[in-house]
Amino acid sequence: MTVAGVLDVVLRLVLVVGAFLLLPLLVGQLEHKAMAHMQSRVGPMYAGGFHGWAQLVADGVKFVQKEHVVPTAADRTVFSLAPAVALLPYLLVLAAVPVGPGLVAVDLPAGLFFALAVLSVSVLGSIMAGWSSANKYALLGGMRTAAQLLAYELPLVLAGSSVVMAAGTLSLSGIVLAWRPWWLVWQAAAAVVFFVSGLAELARPPFDMPLADSEIVLGPLTEYTGLRFALFMLAEYAGIVVLCALTAVLFLGGWRGPFGDASLGPIWLLAKIFLLAFVVIWVRVSTPRLRSDQLQRLAWLVLVPMSLGQLALTGVVKVVTS
Amino acid sequence: MRFYGKGILTGLAVTLRAMTRRAVTRQYPEVRPDLPPRSRGVIALLEENCTSCMLCARECPDWCIYIESHKETLPPATEGGRERSRNVLDRFAIDFSLCMYCGICIEVCPFDALFWTPEFEYAEHDIAELTHERDVLREWMWTVPPPPALDPGAERPKEVVDALRAAAEGRPA
C-alpha cells in the first residue's frame, strides 16, 4: 500500500469518526431545543452563552466526572462491555453510507445487507446490559428490547429489500444512483415501514417500552452511571443519525438533490438527515408510549403486511417496466 | 370524518403549532417579573400610621406578628384639662417563616399602616432572619406600588362619594 493510499484511508476514517461524534450531538441539541419549543419552553439557555449551545458538552463533562458503579451481583465483564456493543455498530454503518457521488468511506457491494446486519448488533448491547445488570427492571427492559427487536427486524428487512428489488443492487451507492424521484411515491409504504421499524429498533418514543422510565426506571440502563451511561445516550442519538441516513439513502435519494449533485451531495444528504431527525423528535414529542401488546400488533398486523404488499407492488412494477 | 391515524396527525399539528409560538418561559433572574400591585410578596409597615391597636396581631391566624408598646401621657392641651395618653410602638415584627400570606392583617388595619408589596427576594439562610423587625418592615414601604386603577365603570371610592356629598351640602367632609 502506498503512502497516499494509507493517508486516504486515514482521512476517510477520521472524517467518519468526526461525523460520528459530531452529528449525534447536533441531533441531541436539536432535540433539546425543538422539544422545548414544542412544549412552549425555551430549553437550555446557559451553557456556552448563546441559547445553551454547549449544553451537551457540559453534560459530557459531567458524565466523565461521575463514578462508574458496577452492582455487586452484576456480570462485570458483560456489564462494562455493553455500552461499546451498543455504540460501535453505528460507527460501522456510518462508514458505509455514501455521502456524495463516489464519496463513501467504504464502498461495500452488499452495503445494505451489511448495514442491516450490523444495525441489529447494536440492540444486543441493550440486551447484554439488561441481563448483566442483576436488576429486575433492567432484565424486564432487556426482555422487552429483545421482543421488540424480533418484531421489528422483519418489517425493517422487508422494507429494505423492496428498495433492493427496485434498484437491482445491494450496494448503497448503487441504490442512490438507481434512485428516481418517482420512487418517492412507488416506495412510500416501504419508506414509512422502514422509518417506523427503525424507530422501534432504536427504542425511541413512542416505541420506548424497553426504557419506559415511568414504569421500569430506565430498563437496561437502570444500573449505568457516568461515562458508560453517556455512551448509551450517545448510541441512541448515533442510532437516530444512522437511521435517518439510511432512510435518506434508501428512499429519499441520498446525496441527490434538485440541483448540483456533484458538488452539493453531502449537503443534500445532511439536509435530509436533519429533516428526518426533526421528524423523529417531533413524533417523540407528540405521541404517548405504546403498550407492549400495541407494539406487537403494530409490527405484525400493520407493518409486516404493509411491507409484504410493498414487495408485491415493487415486483409488479419492476416486471411491467422492464 | 374519521380515518386511521387522525389522532397522531392532530397531535403532530398541535406540537408544531406550539413550536411556532413564543415560549411562555420567564427569564427570571435576567428579567425581573412585572408583578401586579396587589401581589402578595412581603408586608410593609408604615409605622407612622400604627397606633399599636393590636388588631392585626390578634387577627393573624398563625400569630406571627409581634407588637410591644407602652403608654405615654401627654400634658393636657388646655389649662386644667385632662392628661392625654397615647401608645408608643416599641417593637413591631412579622415572622415571615410563619406568615401564610393571607393578608388578614392588612385587611383589618383600620389606620392603613400595613401594605402588600410585590418584593419577594428576601430568602435567608437562617430561619431567624425571616423575622423582619420594624425598621426592615418600614424599608419595605418604599417598594409599595401605587394601587391599580379602578376598573372602567366601577363604583366611585367611598371617600370620594362622601366628599362629593359633603361639598354638595356645603359642609366640611
Residue A282: what pLDDT? 92
pLDDT at residue B120 above 80?
A: yes
Query: What is the grid cell recorded at B124?
Result: 435567608
Alpha helices in A66-187 (DSSP H): 76-95, 111-132, 136-167, 172-178, 183-186
Other Cβ atoms within 10 Å of A109 Cβ, number: 12
Give the per-residue pLDDT at A95. Answer: 85
Question: Digits of tens for pLDDT over chain A (322 positions)?
Answer: 688 888 888 888 888 888 888 899 999 999 998 899 988 888 888 888 888 888 888 988 998 898 888 888 888 888 888 899 988 899 888 888 888 777 777 778 888 888 888 888 888 888 888 889 888 888 888 888 888 888 888 899 999 888 888 888 888 888 888 888 888 888 888 999 999 999 988 888 888 888 888 888 888 888 888 888 999 888 889 999 999 999 998 888 878 777 777 777 788 888 889 999 999 999 998 888 888 888 888 888 889 999 999 989 888 888 888 7
Please report residues of B whose CB lies closer than 8 A to that of A37.
18-19, 23
Between CA A15 and CA B161 the distance in angstroms is 82
Amino acid of residue B50: C
Does residue B94 have a pLDDT over 90? yes
Contact A27, A241 (CB under 8 A): yes
Joined grid coordinates for residue A208: 420506548
pLDDT at A1: 67
- Cell reading at A202: 432504536
Indicate yes or no: CB of B11 within 8 angstroms of CB of A39. Answer: no
Give the one of A38, A283, A287 whose C-beta lies nearest to B19's C-beta: A38
pLDDT of residue B1 exceeding 70: no
For position B45, what pLDDT does the model report? 93
B-chain residues within 8 Å CB-CB of A42? 23, 25
Give the integer Cα–Cα distance in Å for B27 and B33: 8
What's the ipTM?
0.72
Burial of B92 (0-12, 13-18, 19+ CB in 10 A): buried
What pLDDT score was predicted for residue B173?
A: 62
Grid cell in block for residue B30: 435576567
With contact defined as beta carbons under 8 Å apart, do B101 and B71 qualify?
no
The Cα–Cα gap between A151 and A298 comes to 9
Phi first, then psi: give them for residue B118, nearest 5 degrees: -75, 0
- B-proximal residues of A, 267-286, CB under 8 Å: 282-283, 285-286
Inter-chain residue contact B27 with A45, CB threshold 8 Å:
yes
Given an 8 Å threshold on Cβ–Cβ distance, is A42 in contact with B23?
A: yes
Q: Which pLDDT value is given to residue B91?
A: 92
Class at the top of the CATH hierarchy for domain B35-149: alpha beta
Cell of A227: 461515562
Dump strand ranges (E) for A202-309. none
Report the 10 Å Cβ neighbour count for B36.
8
pLDDT in tens, B30-43: 888 888 888 899 99
Number of A to B CB contacts under 8 A, please give it.
Answer: 34
Before A220, cis peptide (omega within 30)? no
Domain extents for chain A? 21-59, 66-321
CA angle A278, A173, A307 (to 5 degrees): 60
pLDDT above 90: residue B68: yes
From the list A41, A283, A287, which residue is nearest B25 (CB)?
Answer: A41
Return the SS3 of A67.
coil
Question: Which residue in this structure is represented by grid cell 417593637?
Answer: B91
Please answer yes or no on whether B8 and A287 come within 8 Å at the CB atom.
yes
Q: Do B23 and A36 touch (CB under 8 A)?
A: yes
- Name every residue whose Cβ is closer than 8 Å to that of residue B21 and which is 6 or more positions away in sequence: A40
**Res. B108 pLDDT band, cuts 50 70 90:** very high
Whether A155 contacts A307, CB under 8 Å: yes
What is the residue extent of each domain of chain B? 35-149
Q: How many CB atoms lie within 10 A of CB A125?
A: 23
| Chain A contact for B31 (CB, 8 A cutoff) | no
Residues of A whose CB is below 8 A from B8: 286-287
Measured in angstroms, the CA of A35 and the nearest CA of chain B are apart by: 8
Distance CA A292, CA B15 (A): 25
Chain-chain contact of A42 with B19 (C-beta, under 8 angstroms) = no
Please indicate, yes or no, whether the overall pTM of this predicted structure exceeds 0.80. Answer: no
User: Which is it for the CA torsion B152, B158, B159, B161, positive or negative?
Assistant: positive
